[in-house]
């Protein structure tokens, strides 16, 4: 039911009840006033009672019925009636006092008076004076009818007034409703209701609605971006895995061929093995990248970053003749910091491995890599040929390979892990030659849901 | 293992593939299957080679650096070079493969694929390139459709229908069997020459292209899908 209809009905009902109660009170009071007037008349007739008793046995009712008010006299055990009385018999006269009885379909008011010493001393008689209440009752009825009719009209007018006032009062709400209805056709990410409707309560509702729409839009956008990232990731990953698989399959097909000589067969088998290794390392890298992309806050734990760097470097250095120096700056406290330990170790390891593989000087001097830990920042510097300025950002993107080959994922994983820590990876040039990669594990905050 | 057959032993295949290990493997493998193979790493080299000597069939990877395999198809067709093209795709996305066919390729294979499968399809494409799949009749009429097989032109209500080679062959095959339902397998056999079991939705894709082109010329819907069976062209 519409709010304005409700206010209309409420006004109608409240007015009706008020009018009914005041009408009933008024009518009761009016009835009492009219009846008191009849009682006054009966009392004024009381003086005539002894005369009527005295002449009662000589009166013929029919003679006086037109001129004398209705009266009954009980004397010597006999009841004499005369004047205007109902045709139905009235109850027997019993004791002095007031009575109201029904007879002939209307109410009668009776006053019974004791008359002593008439006509002879020692005589006792009762005189009952009667007056019909018909006029009084019909006046009360007429008043009731009129009051009811006026009351109904007033209540209807009150109801209509309530409805119209309700319409005006609920106008801001209706405007909000109309705006909200448009949500069905509008773009929920950009559509908002107005901020001001002219009523503080409605403005509050509108503000809450808008706030929730904004949250919905943010959530939709985040989900869309996450879904897009996941799709792009899956497509790239599939591409990356299918290529070595293709090479391995084709080489196996060649190896099966009867016409192939033993030298070539050995060669294609070696290539197959190499491609399967490439496939395996691509799989591991893709898994690591997926982990970094959708890092879980639960993976973060207090970690000694200097120990972590030491372990990551030790894991890479075995395979290399390049010298590696680890420098821990005084800014690095022994206080553990919150890190995703496996991710950070993999990230540091990848950067160090990159420096060991691709960071050797092309001629002359021996390769040298310095790993510096400065608080939450890990810097890896080499003395190799360096990476051209134009290629530096590209090298951080996934499936982008440098001239030295590789999976194209090592630095992308390092970057993604740093981003999962709310930090970043940057590539700059080292002085006087070489590459400097800085990994920043920014803060303890929870990683963002969507990264990169 | 397919035995090299003498009819295509001299067929010249140009492979365009950026991944070195796949390129070398395809060159060796297809050579063992009796093809005369050249392999290049990108589309620009491929265009240069084709300019010097026209291959009998081109195998092109979709994800080439610079000019993609799809763009390569488009450029060759724009130059009116009508050699059979088979697209290789390493991506899962259907759109990549469909885009290749829309750009004028004849078929596609998704990596990883079997060398025998590639060899069989190449041979079939070569056979179809040399012979017409249709009978002796040189012109066909089916409803508003008029086809000149020899001159490879088709008209709808007098309006010229621009079709790729494979689209033309498919339409001509359906039109020369009006009212007869042809299964996908039969169509692959007649139009693509695939007389072996093959897992591809290439027929559906090309039927889609034909319908769109006919619709663009406001022709009535003529090619119907018969569920579970195949396709039929209704002339009435």
Whether B63 sits inside 8 A of A239 (CB atoms) is: yes
Of A25-29, A198-202, B193-197, the one with minimum mean pLDDT is B193-197
In this prediction, residues A57-84 reach a mean pLDDT of: 73
What does the pLDDT read at residue A58?
A: 72
Inter-chain contact B21–A239, Cβ cutoff 8 Å? no
Three-state DSSP string of chain B? CCCCCHHHCCCEEEEECCCHHHHHHHHHHHHHCCCEEEEECCHHHHHHHHHHCCCCEEEEECCCCCCCHHHHHHHHHHCCCCCCEEEEECCCCHHHHHHHHHCCCCEEEECCCCHHHHHHHHHHHHHHHHCCCCCCCCEEEECCEEEECCCCEEEECCEEECCCHHHHHHHHHHHCCCCCCEEHHHHHHHHHCCCCCCCCCHHHHHHHHHHHHHHHCCCCCCEEEECCCEEEECCC
Residues A247, B92: C-beta atoms closer than 8 Å:
no
At residue A65, the pLDDT reads: 52
- Proportion of chain A above pLDDT 90, given as a percent: 29
CB proximity B80 to A under 8 Å? no
Contact of B93 with chain A, judged by CB distance below 8 Å, is answered with yes
Q: Report yes or no: B41 at the A interface, CB cutoff 8 Å.
A: no
Contacts with A242 from chain B: Cβ below 8 Å? 90, 110-112
Look at residue A403 in the predicted model and tell me its pLDDT.
Answer: 66
Residue A321 has pLDDT above 90, yes or no: no
Convert the pLDDT of each residue in A306-316 to its tens digit: 999 998 888 88
Residues A100-117 as b or e (16 or more Cβ within 10 Å = b): eeebeeeebbbbbbebee
Whether the pLDDT of residue A239 is over 70: the answer is yes
Residue A188 has pLDDT above 80, yes or no: no
Give contacts of B19 with chain A, Cβ < 8 Å: 243, 246-247
| pLDDT the model gives residue B8 | 44
Picking from A258, A259, A271, the nearest residue to B21 by CB comes out as A271
A235 touches chain B (CB under 8 A): yes
- Cβ of residue A199 closer than 8 Å to a chain B Cβ: no
Using a CB–CB cutoff of 8 Å, tell me whether A100 touches chain B: no
Beta bridge partners, B39, equal B15
Query: Residue A380 — very low, low, confident or very high, per pLDDT cuts 50/70/90?
Result: very high
Considering only CB atoms, B22 lies closest to which of A235, A246, A259, namely: A246
Q: Which residues in chain B come in under a pLDDT of 50?
A: 1-8
pLDDT at B2: 45
Q: Report CB contact under 8 Å: B111, A256.
A: no
The answer to whether A370 faces chain B, any CB pair under 8 Å, is: no
B115 at interface of A, judged by CB pairs closer than 8 A: yes
Nearest to B149 by CA among B160, B133, B126, B130: B133
Mean pLDDT of chain A: 85
Q: Which residue has the tokens 């360096």?
A: A386
CB contact under 8 A, A235 and B21: no
Per-residue model confidence (pLDDT) at position B103: 85
Lowest-pLDDT choice from A32-46, A321-335, A431-445: A431-445
Q: What is the model's pLDDT at position A207?
A: 92
Tens digits of residue pLDDT in A241-268: 888 899 999 999 999 888 889 999 999 9
For residues B211, B217, B219 and B225, what is the CA-based torsion angle, rounded to 10 degrees?
0
**A244 and B CB contact within 8 Å:** yes
Beta-carbon separation of B111 and A251 below 8 A:
no
Q: Is the Cβ of B28 closer than 8 Å to some Cβ of chain A?
A: yes
CB pairs A-B closer than 8 Å: 68
Instruction: Give chain A positions within 8 Å (CB) of B21.
Output: 244, 247, 251, 271, 274-275
pLDDT for the residue A68: 67
Q: A51-55, A320-324, B1-5: lowest mean pLDDT where?
A: B1-5
Contact assignment for A239 to B115 by CB distance below 8 Å: no
Q: Which residues contact B54 (CB under 8 A, 6 or more apart)?
A: B81, B83
Q: What's the average model confidence in pLDDT over A366-372?
A: 90
Indicate the residue of B32, B91, B112 with minimum beta-carbon distance to A245: B112
Q: How confident is the model at residue A447, as a pLDDT?
A: 43
Position A60 pLDDT exceeds 70 = no
Res A61: pLDDT:
52
Residues of A in Cβ contact (< 8 Å) with B92: 234-235, 238
| Mean pLDDT in residue range A120-130 | 89
β-strand partners of B155: B146, B160
CA A28 to each of CA A100, A153, B104: distance values in angstroms, whole numbers, following the listed order: 16, 22, 103
- The reply to whether ipTM tops 0.90 is no
- Residue A448's pLDDT is 44
Q: Does B116 touch chain A (CB under 8 A)?
A: yes
CA terminus-to-terminus distance, chain A: 52
């Amino acid at each position: 039911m519409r709010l304005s209809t409700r206010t209309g009905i409420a006004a109608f009902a409240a007015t009706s009840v008020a009018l009914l109660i005041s009408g009933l009170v008024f009518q009761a009071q009016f009835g009492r006033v009219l009846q008191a007037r009849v009682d006054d008349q009966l009392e004024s007739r009381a003086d005539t009672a002894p005369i009527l008793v005295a002449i009662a046995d000589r009166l013929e009712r029919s003679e006086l019925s037109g001129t004398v008010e209705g009266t009954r006299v009980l004397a010597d055990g006999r009841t004499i009636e005369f004047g205007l009385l109902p045709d139905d018999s009235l109850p027997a006269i019993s004791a002095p006092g007031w009575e109201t009885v029904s007879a002939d379909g209307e109410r009668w008011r009776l006053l019974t008076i004791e008359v002593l010493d008439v006509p002879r001393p020692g005589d006792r008689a009762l005189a009952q004076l009667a007056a019909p209440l018909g006029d009084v009752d019909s006046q009360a009825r007429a008043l009731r009818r009129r009051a009811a009719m006026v009351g109904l009209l007033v209540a209807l007018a009150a109801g209509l007034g309530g409805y119209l006032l309700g319409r005006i009062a609920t106008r801001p709400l209706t405007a909000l409703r109309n705006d909200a209805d448009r949500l069905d056709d509008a773009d929920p990410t950009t559509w908002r209701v107005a901020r001001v409707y002219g009523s503080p309560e409605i403005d509050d509702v509108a503000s809450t609605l808008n706030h929730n729409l904004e949250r919905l839009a943010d959530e939709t956008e985040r989900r869309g971006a996450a879904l897009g990232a996941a799709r792009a990731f899956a497509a790239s990953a599939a591409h990356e895995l299918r290529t070595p698989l293709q090479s391995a399959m084709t080489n196996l097909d060649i190896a099966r061929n009867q016409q192939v000589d033993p030298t070539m067969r050995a060669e294609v088998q070696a290539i197959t093995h190499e491609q399967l290794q490439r496939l395996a390392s691509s799989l591991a890298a893709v898994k690591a990248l997926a982990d970094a992309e959708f890092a879980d806050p639960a993976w973060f734990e207090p970690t000694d970053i200097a120990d972590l760097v030491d372990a990551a470097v030790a894991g890479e250095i075995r395979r290399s003749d390049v010298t590696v120096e680890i420098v821990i700056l005084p800014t690095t406290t022994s206080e553990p910091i919150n890190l995703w330990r496996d991710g950070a170790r993999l990230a540091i390891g990848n950067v160090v491995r990159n420096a060991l593989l691709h960071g050797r000087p092309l001629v002359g001097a021996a390769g040298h890599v310095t790993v510096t830990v400065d608080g939450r920042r890990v810097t890896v510097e080499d003395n190799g040929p360096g990476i051209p300025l134009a290629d530096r950002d590209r090298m951080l993107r996934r499936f982008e390979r440098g001239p030295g080959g590789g999976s194209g994922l090592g630095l992308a994983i390092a970057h993604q892990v740093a981003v999962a820590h709310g930090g970043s990876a940057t590539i700059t040039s080292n002085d006087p030659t070489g590459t400097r990669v800085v990994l920043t594990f920014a803060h303890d905050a929870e990683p963002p849901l969507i990264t990169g | 293992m397919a035995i090299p057959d003498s009819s295509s032993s001299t067929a010249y295949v140009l492979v365009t593939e950026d991944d070195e290990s796949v390129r070398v493997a395809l060159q060796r493998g297809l050579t063992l299957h009796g093809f005369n193979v050249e392999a290049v790493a990108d589309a620009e080299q491929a265009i240069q080679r084709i300019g010097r000597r026209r291959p009998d069939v081109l195998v092109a990877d979709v994800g080439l650096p610079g000019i993609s395999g799809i763009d390569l198809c488009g450029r060759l067709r724009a130059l009116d070079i009508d050699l059979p093209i088979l697209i290789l795709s390493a991506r899962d996305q259907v759109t990549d493969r469909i885009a290749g066919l829309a750009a004028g390729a004849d078929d596609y294979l998704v990596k990883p694929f079997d060398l025998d499968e590639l060899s069989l399809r190449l041979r079939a494409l070569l056979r179809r390139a040399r012979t017409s799949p249709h009978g002796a009749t040189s012109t066909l009429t089916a409803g508003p459709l008029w086809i000149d097989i020899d001159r490879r032109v088709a008209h709808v209500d007098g309006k010229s229908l621009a079709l790729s080679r494979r689209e033309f062959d498919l339409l001509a095959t359906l039109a020369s069997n009006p009212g007869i339902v042809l299964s996908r397998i039969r169509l692959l056999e007649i139009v693509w020459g695939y007389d072996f079991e093959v897992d591809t939705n290439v027929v559906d894709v090309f039927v889609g292209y034909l319908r769109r082109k006919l619709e663009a010329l406001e022709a009535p819907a003529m090619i119907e899908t018969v569920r579970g069976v195949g396709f039929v062209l209704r002339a009435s």
